């Protein structure tokens, strides 16, 4: 579908904010479920982009920066794949292909963010020199420039995709053979499952498994809406937090293992 100039500007702004948030991590605009939803909102394609964002969020749950290892760029993957989904005009049917496209885009974004961070090391030296001079304003200026550079690494690719236009992108998607689109759908689903499995593997403890099982059982009850499931999830989280504060050794709340909830479960 074609989008107007105002929508293009709003999309570039969302991309810019998502790029900055990849470093700031203050308002979570870089999270796929938020970035894709915002793009869907400003372009009038909320439902397909929300589904895409939710699927990409499951993948990104398994991505994390560990030491010097930088995770794939979820922000660029979310923004670019959402724009391609909107311009493709296939709606919800185009989500599987967009998910598959997002993975290589995340790797490309990883290279861009490493480049930006490498350049930012020079800015750190400039800020050190300004700090020695007592020029706090100059320190802040270089800080803002470095953050804006991270925003531009998302905004520029987004603008380029918008410049290509809906026609070529739609044509390219329509030229994809059925076996390829089907394979992308299967591959996209597998990547989501792998990302979720990675998170489960990191969180799998005797304290969490009961809540995890309860959530899956409740999800099978079709009469419960997403709002209802969310309310139940909040209540379970509050119960968990209350139990962790009580302690579990039975002597007034102190814990022998350092895991109060684990002590309570062991007692029962």
Indicate if the pLDDT at residue 93 is higher than 50.
yes
Within-domain flag for 152: yes
Query: Is position 192 within any domain?
Result: no
255 and 129 share one domain: no
Domain that holds residue 167: 5-178
Per-residue confidence (pLDDT) for residue 252, from 0 to 100: 45
Same domain flag for 48 and 146: yes
Of residues 172 and 133, more confidently modeled = 133
43 and 172 together in one domain: yes
pLDDT digits (tens, 9 = 90+) for 228-257: 878 888 888 888 777 777 654 444 444 444
Cα–Cα dist 153/111, whole Å: 10
Residue 1 has pLDDT above 70, yes or no: no
- The helices-and-strands tally (H runs, E runs) of the chain is 11, 0
Count of structural domains, the chain: 2
Same domain, yes or no: 136 and 12: yes
Indicate whether 47 and 160 sit together in one domain.
yes
pLDDT of residue 38: 92
100 and 227 part of one domain: no
């Amino acid at each position: 579908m074609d989008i107007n100039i105002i929508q293009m500007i709003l999309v570039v702004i969302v991309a810019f904010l998502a790029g900055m948030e990849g470093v700031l991590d203050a308002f979570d605009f870089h999270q796929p479920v938020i970035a894709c939803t915002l793009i869907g909102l400003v372009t009038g394609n909320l439902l397909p982009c929300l589904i895409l964002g939710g699927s990409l969020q499951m993948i990104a749950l398994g991505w994390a920066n560990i030491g010097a290892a930088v995770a794939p760029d979820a922000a660029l993957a979310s923004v670019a794949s959402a724009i391609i989904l909107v311009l493709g005009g296939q709606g919800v049917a185009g989500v599987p292909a967009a998910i598959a496209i997002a993975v290589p885009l995340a790797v490309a974004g990883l290279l861009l963010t490493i480049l930006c961070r490498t350049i930012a090391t020079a800015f750190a030296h400039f800020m050190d020199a300004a700090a020695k001079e007592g020029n706090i304003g100059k320190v802040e200026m270089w800080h803002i420039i470095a953050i804006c550079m991270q925003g531009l690494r998302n905004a520029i690719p987004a603008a380029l995709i918008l410049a290509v236009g809906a026609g070529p992108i739609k044509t390219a998607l329509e030229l994809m053979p059925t076996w390829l689109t089907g394979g992308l759908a299967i591959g996209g689903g597998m990547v989501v499952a792998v990302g979720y499995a990675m998170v489960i593997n990191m969180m799998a403890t005797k304290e969490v498994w009961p809540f995890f099982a309860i959530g899956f059982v409740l999800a099978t009850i079709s009469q419960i809406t997403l709002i209802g499931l969310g309310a139940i999830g909040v209540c379970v989280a509050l119960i968990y937090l209350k139990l962790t504060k009580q302690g579990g050794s039975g002597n007034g709340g102190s814990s022998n293992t350092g895991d109060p909830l684990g002590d309570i479960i062991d007692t029962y």
